[in-house]
Every structure is written in C-alpha cells, then in structure tokens.
C-alpha cells in the first residue's frame, strides 16, 4: 500500500478493506488526531487508548462516508465525537469519586453548575449536526480556530468551511433559543465574542 496515495484513494482503499490501508490511514492522521485529542482532553495516560478508539471507530464506520474527498473531515468528526464521549465518561467517574467534574467554560463568570449543564445541553445539540458541520462548529467557535485553520484541518476549501460552520451556528443557535436554560449562553454578547 503506497503511503503517498490521495485522500480519495485512501478512503476507497479503507472501504474495500485493502491490506495496509488502515496502517496508511493511521500514519497519515495520527499526528492530527493526537493533537486534537490532547487539546480536547489534556495530557493523559489514556490518550493513546482514546486515539486507538478513534481509529477503530473510523474503520468500523468508513462505509458511511459519502464523499471520499472528505476523509479528513470524517476522521476529525469522529475524533470530536470521541472527545465528547470521553468527557462524559470522565464526568461520570468524577461524580462517583466526588471529585470536581470537568466543565467547559462557555462564558466567564457563570457558575460551575450552570456551565456544566449548558455544556451537556450544547453537546446534545451538536450531536444532531452532520459530522463535518459539527467538527467545523467546534473548531471555529469552541477551539477559536480561524476560518483558514478550520478549512485546513478538515481538508475543505475556505468557502466550504465557512458555509459549514455558519450553517452549524445558525442551526445550533436556533435550537438553543428553544431551550430557556441554554438560550442565555447564546445571547448577543456571546455571539459577538464567537464570530
């Protein structure tokens, strides 16, 4: 299996379960996945296990990839899903051990309980988006990446990346406005700060 194959060629090789395709995919995407996991979960001895979980999920779900050109976005979307799942696992473990749960600071000055509840509700809204749109939303509005960085990380054109996170922002804010608790986190001040 050639290491320099194009992204669509690699996607098709994975779908056809060609020998060596999984190794090529792991070699190509491991640095990016590791970087995203480290930013999303922090340094942890479990990071390598979580990275393996990402790739196992990619290989199991590769048949659902509709556009072979979007392989990188597909991998990133799964990585973000695994980050969300791992955060939930950590929160559950912290509740059992009576430790402070890991929370995401959506807006400074909010109470820990409020932030935790808002983050959990936001995760449920993000789960309703397509993988590419969810990944673009997280990179742009949570990770604070520039439009060019989002496009590069997801293997998209700048225009497509902008359409993707703009669409995701409109959908998520529309859904959030129907939730009285979550709506306060999408007020005008937060929108201006994120855009």
Range of the domain at 97: 1-102
pLDDT at 9: 94
130 vs 1, residue with greater confidence: 130
* The model scores a pTM over 0.95: no
pLDDT at 134: 83
135 vs 194, residue with greater confidence: 135
pLDDT at 143: 73
In a domain, 144, yes or no: yes
Residues 96 and 126 grouped into a single domain: no
Label residues 38-69 b or e (16+ Cβ within 10 Å = b). Answer: eebbeeeeeeeebbebbbebbeeebeebeebe
Helices and strands per DSSP (H, E), number in the chain: 10, 0
Residues 86 and 120 grouped into a single domain: no
114 vs 171, residue with greater confidence: 171
Domain total in the chain: 2
pLDDT at 117: 65
107 vs 172, residue with greater confidence: 172
pLDDT at 119: 67
Residues 51 and 139 grouped into a single domain: no
In sequence order, what are the residues at sequence separation of 6 or more whose Cβ sits closer than 8 angstroms to the Cβ of residue 101?
90, 91, 94, 95, 116
pLDDT at 192: 38
Domain boundary among the residues 48, 70, 102 is at 102
Q: What pLDDT, in 10s, does the model give residues 7-66? A: 999 999 999 999 999 999 999 999 989 988 887 777 778 888 999 999 999 999 999 888
Residues 141 and 80: their CA atoms lie apart, in Å, by: 14
In a domain, 30, yes or no: yes
Domain boundary among the residues 102, 121, 144 is at 102
In a domain, 107, yes or no: no
Share of the chain above pLDDT 90, in %: 25
Residue with tokens 């990446």: 145
Domain boundary among the residues 84, 102, 120 is at 102
Q: What pLDDT, in 10s, does the model give residues 143-178? A: 778 888 888 777 788 999 899 999 998 898 888 888
pLDDT at 160: 92
Answer whether residue 191 shows pLDDT above 50. no
76: pLDDT confidence band, cut at 50, 70 and 90? Answer: confident
Share of the chain above pLDDT 70, in %: 77
């Amino acid at each position: 299996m050639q290491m320099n194959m194009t992204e669509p060629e690699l996607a098709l090789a994975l779908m056809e379960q060609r020998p060596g395709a999984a190794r090529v995919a792991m070699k190509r995407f491991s640095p990016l996945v590791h970087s995203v996991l480290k930013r999303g979960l922090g340094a942890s001895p479990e990071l390598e296990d979580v990275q393996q979980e990402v790739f196992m999920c990619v290989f199991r779900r590769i048949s659902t990839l509709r556009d072979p050109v979007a392989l990188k976005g597909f991998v990133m979307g799964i990585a973000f899903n695994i980050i969300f799942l791992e955060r939930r696992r950590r929160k559950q473990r912290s509740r059992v051990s009576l430790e402070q749960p890991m929370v995401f600071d959506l807006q400074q000055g909010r109470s820990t309980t409020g932030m935790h509840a808002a983050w959990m509700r936001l995760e449920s809204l993000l789960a309703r988006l397509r993988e590419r749109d969810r990944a673009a939303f997280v990179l742009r509005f949570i990770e604070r990446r520039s439009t060019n960085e989002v496009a590069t990380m997801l293997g998209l054109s700048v225009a497509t990346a902008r359409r993707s996170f703009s669409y995701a922002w409109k959908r998520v804010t529309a859904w959030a406005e129907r939730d009285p608790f979550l709506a306060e986190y999408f007020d005008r001040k937060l929108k201006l700060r994120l855009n």
